[in-house]
Structure 1
């Protein structure tokens, strides 16, 4: 695999999915937070030069839901159809808890080619959860003919901004079971400036499910944590999951590789290597709110496993000089 980093500049919250058609599909937050775009390529490095295709645009400002701050779209293929999960707000103002006002939504495409046209994508609406609060960063995964939904959400009764929850789904836009909380910000490395657990990602390897997530503010403090569960356990039971008490992927301050997080996983072209996808900044002096600084860049790197079958992510790889 050609290793160019950053793979794609100014794309935060990156998600790469390799489909059975041999293409890699890429989705991420765009700096203007105003639309959802996809790009695809037969190679990972080709994603850097692939032409983006806009598949959905935010509703007109002032028209209600989904009209502001479109965040973290993820493309998935479930039961023969394409789905993109994303978060959106109706305003840029904060709510009574001092939070943005995002909720989670999904669009569906039943065409073979999800890149063909915007018209192929249909809004399935909001994914309803018992709490009507700030919610974002949904992902889905399938196991033993069950579809699971994992996301981050604010509970006003719990310290911090967001916790991570899991539920089974009735269909790709409706929950079937009561959500259960899997993790909340509790350690020092999760509570720098903001107490956050967000951006969950699922890796199924070596008889286990690994759930990575991101904690703390989205500056140089941002880092990745991890939970794990046996694949044969009840994944809806919080007791099945064990939380690692330390971060598993952090900033490399010496090389200005700062705030790695909001990751996803994919595989190499030959299917033999597991790859970590994440975003990062290369400077700490951010003017204003880090959320509105566009320079979070998509990175990708191979990782290994220890003798117990647990992933070892190492450190962020250094930037490649693409000018040569």
Structure 2
């Protein structure tokens, strides 16, 4: 267990949180800043230490053109001895022209050294695309992301594709989830924010659904680890959400999660954002109070993750 207590919210006004535990045990945190204009990294030796870690701005938006507006949901990954950040961005001249972009850094410490722009991840369509995550399985690297299909009336569905390098797809993209349940269609038809967890012979992908207010919640996909991950039939969706608003605990719209582990590696930790109030004035995307939060989770006898309910603000037992 940790030597420092963890209290929620861990970091205020940081949505779409991503926490990576590096091989040397260092924790790195990144998230959407409420101004949507930059990418920050924080590092600490403990999860609790991230709360006080100074943010290091590693990249700032362009003034115009690609990557100049709506800098959203960065993720930090270590691939082939280099660091990569995946993020979404629009244009100042066309703010909803959101696409996926990649940065690279060859330094040992991603808060130092130079980040170079590797460019856009080109997908099947030149359409709204965001929330890319990547993982390796059985020697193959995959990208999973959210995108709007120009021929279908949904805001975003989830896709998977193989990769030839950290910024290039190597084959056709396959739809693995689309918002077909009522709880995925509140105000908007959305599947987004995928996060991968490999356990118990399965590939699990959590994702977020519906609008970014109190209706926001998490769903779960899974595939057998020995199945063809590029076959849509390999993927199964649970019919009910797995993590939702909890009035009793004062937590609203939990979602856009990632996963990490405790310092000693004994506990799986859910990393997510939520607000502590329901009513929002104006556009939820302009309300800054989606805070980074943590809580441990367990596993059921069926081998599936059990997330429970988002815990109250304050000390977070078990982290």
- Is the TM-score greater than 0.5? yes
Residues 296/92 of structure 1: CA separation in 2 closer, same or farther (3 Å cut): farther
The answer for the alignment partner of 1:114 in structure 2 is 110
Q: Is it true that 1:208 corresponds to 2:202 in the alignment?
A: yes
- Alpha-carbon contact 1:180-1:238 (below 8 Å) kept: yes
The answer for the alignment partner of 1:169 in structure 2 is 163
Could you tell me how far 1:3 is from its partner in structure 2? Answer: 2.9
- Give the Cα–Cα distance (whole angstroms) in 1 for the partners of residues 94 and 118 of structure 2: 25
Q: Is it true that 1:31 corresponds to 2:25 in the alignment?
A: no
Q: TM-score, normalised on structure 1?
A: 0.95
- Where does structure 1 differ by over 2 angstroms across 4 or more consecutive aligned residues? 91-94
Describe the superposition over 1:176-204 as per-residue Cα deviations: whole angstroms up to 9, x where unpaired: 01000000001010000111000000000
- Give the Cα–Cα distance (whole angstroms) in 2 for the partners of residues 107 and 75 of structure 1: 9
The answer for the alignment partner of 1:280 in structure 2 is 274
Which SS does the other structure have where 2:221 is aligned? Answer: strand
- Give the Cα–Cα distance (whole angstroms) in 2 for the partners of residues 196 and 137 of structure 1: 12
Could you tell me how far 1:92 is from its partner in structure 2? Answer: 6.8
- Give the Cα–Cα distance (whole angstroms) in 1 for the partners of residues 221 and 204 of structure 2: 6
Q: Tell me which moved more, 297-306 or 2-11.
A: 2-11
- Alpha-carbon contact 1:92-1:101 (below 8 Å) kept: no
- Give the Cα–Cα distance (whole angstroms) in 2 for the partners of residues 229 and 274 of structure 1: 20
The answer for the alignment partner of 2:9 in structure 1 is 6
Match of 1:44 among 41, 44, 47: 47
**Runs of at least 5 residues in structure 2 that lack an aligned partner in the other structure:** none
Which SS does the other structure have where 1:56 is aligned? Answer: strand
CA RMSD of aligned residues (A): 1.2
- Give the Cα–Cα distance (whole angstroms) in 2 for the partners of residues 177 and 47 of structure 1: 38
The answer for the alignment partner of 1:101 in structure 2 is 97
- Alpha-carbon contact 1:164-1:197 (below 8 Å) kept: yes
Could you tell me how far 1:93 is from its partner in structure 2? Answer: 4.7
Describe the superposition over 1:90-112 as per-residue Cα deviations: whole angstroms up to 9, x where unpaired: 13756xxxxx2100000000111
Could you tell me how far 1:50 is from its partner in structure 2? Answer: 0.3
- Give the Cα–Cα distance (whole angstroms) in 2 for the partners of residues 235 and 273 of structure 1: 27
Describe the superposition over 1:192-219 as per-residue Cα deviations: whole angstroms up to 9, x where unpaired: 0111000000000111110000000000
The answer for the alignment partner of 2:290 in structure 1 is 296
- Give the Cα–Cα distance (whole angstroms) in 1 for the partners of residues 292 and 93 of structure 2: 25
Give the aligned length: 313
**Runs of at least 5 residues in structure 1 that lack an aligned partner in the other structure:** 95-99
Match of 1:231 among 225, 232, 241: 225
The answer for the alignment partner of 2:145 in structure 1 is 151
- Alpha-carbon contact 2:65-2:93 (below 8 Å) kept: no
Which SS does the other structure have where 1:178 is aligned? Answer: coil
Q: TM-score, normalised on structure 2?
A: 0.96
